[in-house]
A and B are shown apart, each in its own frame.
Chain A
């Protein structure tokens, strides 16, 4: 935060002037407080009304479903800071057999399969290993599914099935090294303490290729923003796969199984598959295309201080928001007030690492009228968000440019 008002660059854009500021945003508009007295939120799609319900260790969140729980973060929370508070962090479980009491001192992570020696690690064992901290976005594969057109069955999320936290734990690689891999090792499979209600339902298991599992940044985390994580976010330990979709971030991690084959369990072979196309997109209704397991996050950006449909007073309006991608880092964020016809750079705030939300700032000297405010991000690996949404039958990976109708009075 080094720029003061005197260093602002004044830009002209159609009818309005844009001012870009690399500094603390102006005060003024805050949507964060507006949610306090609400009892529900209307997401802007059919059947989008969500009651605000406080689950254990959580503030009131958008209840998508109570059992198994799927809870969405109110979007205004993302305006409050670069880290998403633990009690506001989204929740998503697949199966209703969730332990409601977990004793950290009794918890064990069992390492079995194609290893030299099996392990049963306690949290005290993890405490003897080198600790790593990493700030990383955890985004649900189906975040924003409710906005797909045509609509898709599934968890009907708005944009709040994501969060950014500072995770502390030990490298998975160090655990695997301690066990020692057999030559035939091919993938590593993960399972938590949760289970299905019916024995016929496939238990939730996910797998990573060996090279991904042994990456520098994959950790078994026991702290979230410096605190024990809420039970609903995976207490006492959770797998963190920075840059990859949340489906791999197995909660209440209890079993690490080294496989000598590519995992063919339901949650890898059938669920969470995306089209094997450059942007994971197909024409709606297409069938018979090749698929691969979902993997890295694509690049996204949002405005966090002004909602779609907002009315604001004319004058200097702060615009701020977040951007992120799957681990190359955010290279540029651009703002448009004419629906994407012209763009100007926003200022990027402090860098918390290539997997983190990157906050951005701009200021808009707005004159009365109706505007389509848009934001787009570009990543260091050379990808820029598109205006045209992708589509796939799972409703995964939505990342098109967000546009906000704003009335300036």
Chain B
């Protein structure tokens, strides 16, 4: 296919503008230290089963990972809990999965 003139013009300008050999661009030195904010007091909503969420979810992420979600169905919360357990290794005991799903679907569901 014949290349249109504007594409040619764009690629020429890239040579001139987009990629250039940098001058006086030394890599950084020294140490950067930050203090990450905590979860800033956020917590799961109270409700039956909240202690399971507190015990197993907060290990890896703040409760905002739940509270920002759209109102998910029980099937969707089930999939999320199984993903956390099976793909990410959250040590949620098998016999507490359904209570956790019910808690999430009740407090953060449709």
Interface of A with B (CB < 8 Å)?
45-47, 53, 55-57, 63-69, 95-96, 98, 100-105, 123-124, 126-127, 130-135, 146, 151-153, 155-156, 168, 196-202, 216-217, 222-223, 226, 228, 231-232, 235-237, 266, 270, 328-329, 331, 351-356, 380
Contact = CB atoms under 8 A, between A and B. Distances in A.
A26 B26 CA distance: 38
Contacts of A200: 88-89, 91
Given A65-B62, A266-B87, A132 B36 contact: no
B70 A46 contact: yes
A102 B23 CA distance: 25
Interface of B: 6-7, 10-11, 13-14, 17-23, 25-40, 42, 59-62, 64-65, 67-72, 76, 79-80, 87-91
A201 B89 contact: yes
A353 B18 contact: yes
A126 B21 CA distance: 14
Prevailing SS type, chain A contact patch: loop
A232 B88 CA distance: 23
B64 A354 contact: no
Contact of B10 (A68, A155, A380): A380
Prevailing SS type, chain B contact patch: loop
A353 B27 contact: no
A66 B28 contact: no
B71 A202 contact: no
From A65, A100, A135, A152, residue with most partner B Cβ within 10 Å: A65
Contacts of B26: 127
Contacts of A153: 69-70, 72, 76, 79-80
A236 B60 CA distance: 25
A234 to B, nearest CB: 11
28 contacts: A46-B70, A46-B71, A47-B69, A53-B37, A56-B35, A65-B62, A101-B31, A101-B34, A123-B27, A131-B25, A133-B20, A133-B22, A153-B69, A153-B79, A197-B59, A197-B60, A198-B88, A200-B88, A217-B19, A222-B28, A235-B28, A351-B10, A351-B13, A351-B14, A351-B18, A352-B17, A353-B18, A380-B10
Nearest to A237: B27
B22 A132 contact: yes
A124 B27 contact: yes
A105 B19 CA distance: 27
Contact of A202 (B20, B39, B60, B88): B88
A65 B30 contact: no
A93 to B, nearest CB: 10
Contacts of A132: 19-22
Contacts of B37: 53, 55, 66
A211 to B, nearest CB: 18
A353 B87 contact: no
B60 A201 contact: yes
Given A131-B22, A351-B13, A353-B18, A102 B31 contact: yes
B40 A66 contact: yes
A47 B67 contact: yes
B18 A104 contact: no
Contact of A134 (B18, B28, B30): B18
A331 B6 contact: yes
A354 B72 contact: no
Given A236-B28, A270-B87, 12 more contacts: A57-B34, A65-B68, A95-B60, A102-B31, A105-B29, A134-B19, A168-B25, A200-B88, A200-B89, A216-B19, A222-B28, A223-B22
